[in-house]
Amino acid sequence: MPSPPIPSAQRPDSPALIDQYGRVATDLRVSVTDHCNLRCTYCMPADGLEWLPRDELLSTAELQRLLHIAVTQLGIAEIRFTGGEPLLRRDLPELVSFAAGLHPRPDLSVTTNGLGLKHKAKVLADAGLDRINVSLDSVDRVAYAAITRRDRLHDVLDGLAAAVAAGLAPVKVNAVLQRGVNDDQAADLLGFCLANGYELRFIEQMPLDADHRWNRASMITAEEILDRLRERFALTPDARPRGAAPAQRWLVDGGPASVGVIASVTKPFCGDCDRVRLTADGQLRNCLFATGETDLRRLLRTGGDDVAIAHQWRDAIWVKKAGHGIGAAGFQQPARPMSAIGG
């Protein structure tokens, strides 16, 4: 993949991860694997997706080294482990525990499809995990199996309950709606989450599918999601400040319960973005939609010291684009699918 342009010599001499538009990256999304035990239609193909070569995946020690640099030298205050399916990586508790021991201690979370969480929630909480997001697009078994291509709804429900029992709070649920598939189930999902004390957030489907079939016209927009929820619930804007959080929150039936909608496509929040992503093979991405990457793995494996790695990391953020440009002329979907970037 092409490297980003040579950074301008004008980058200020600051330890933080700042870009040319004044944004500061403090939230690191670490993809620990590109493997997954589901095949969600908006993310992965049914089969045929090539895995990253095993020897290119970062080892536990390499990941720990980058986490240490990120927190102690670059101002990363929040780390989210994702994938692929992060629970498939056996050293996840070890990585969480390492990150929890860093100073200043970062906020630690995981985004997971929830399979196997029943057995891992307590181990992760004991390792220092603060919060968890579980992806669940339908509470109807048939629709769930159609979306994920696996009949595993019961595992996710068990995983959610285990997360609560382990004290991971709040437990958030992420949902993506697809037209003609589960777009009639928004209110059912919200009812389920309200009944169980989970915080639901809908995410507009983005052009990050491995099949490159995303189509703006058939995407369910944030406005449509809200319309469908209003058929059953009263929604009022949540007055709490949003900060860099991408979800616009609504109080349900007067509160205190709320629901979030992330309008990544129709109302991009790029101007407030504080994220940077590290792929499982050690490539730094300054945006979900970046078409260039910075190869930290090579630097790690050719004897680069911490100062050199931190310097390259800052350079990578400095050239972050102002916005993702979905819908603009010349927009190019990244070659990597979401499962290999880390959502």
The answer to the question of residue 36 lying near ligand SF4 (CB under 6 A) is yes
The closest alpha carbon to 108, from 118, 123, 119, 98, belongs to 98
Residue type, 18: I
144 is annotated as contributing to ligand binding: no
For 76-87, give one letter per residue: b (16+ CB within 10 A) or e: bebbbbbbbbbb
Residue 154 CB, nearest distance to ligand SF4 (Å)?
Answer: 16
Residue 29 CB, nearest distance to ligand SAM (Å)?
Answer: 9
Residue 322 CB, nearest distance to ligand SF4 (Å)?
Answer: 27
The answer to the question of residue 83 lying near ligand SF4 (CB under 6 A) is yes
Residue 205 CB, nearest distance to ligand SAM (Å)?
Answer: 4
Q: Which stretch binds ligand SF4 (CB under 6 A): 40-48, 86-94, 116-124, 282-290?
A: 40-48
Ordered DSSP codes for 267-332: S--GGG--EEEE-TTSEEESSTT-S--EEHHHHHHTT--HHHHHHHHHHHHHT--S---TTSTT--
Q: What does residue 73 show for φ and ψ, rounded to 5 degrees?
A: -115, -20
- Only one residue has tokens 């979900």, namely 288
193 is annotated as contributing to ligand binding: no
- C-beta of 137 vs 238, nearer to ligand SAM: 137
- C-beta of 4 vs 83, nearer to ligand SF4: 83
Q: Is 58 exposed, middle or buried (0-12, 13-18, 19+ CB in 10 A)?
A: buried
Residue 203 CB, nearest distance to ligand SF4 (Å)?
Answer: 10
Query: Per this entry, what is the length of the chain?
Result: 343
In a 3-state reduction of DSSP, which class is residue 126? helix
Residue 209 CB, nearest distance to ligand SAM (Å)?
Answer: 5
Identify the helix (H) or strand (E) that includes residue 174: strand 171-175
105 is annotated as contributing to ligand binding: no
84 is annotated as contributing to ligand binding: yes
Q: Give yes or no for a contact between 180 and 17, defined as CB atoms under 8 angstroms apart.
A: no
- C-beta of 136 vs 166, nearer to ligand SAM: 136
The answer to the question of residue 160 lying near ligand SF4 (CB under 6 A) is no
Write the DSSP symbol of residue 258.
E
Q: Which stretch binds ligand SF4 (CB under 6 A): 32-40, 99-107, 119-127, 241-249?
A: 32-40
Q: Give the residue numbers of the binding site for [4Fe-4S] cluster.
A: 36, 40, 43, 270, 273, 287
Q: Which spans of this chain sit near ligand SF4 (rule: CB under 6 A)?
A: 36, 38-40, 43-44, 83-85, 113, 135, 338-339
Q: Give the residue numbers of the binding site for S-adenosyl-L-methionine.
A: 42, 84, 135, 206
Q: Give the residue numbers of the binding site for GTP.
A: 29, 80, 111, 172, 275-277
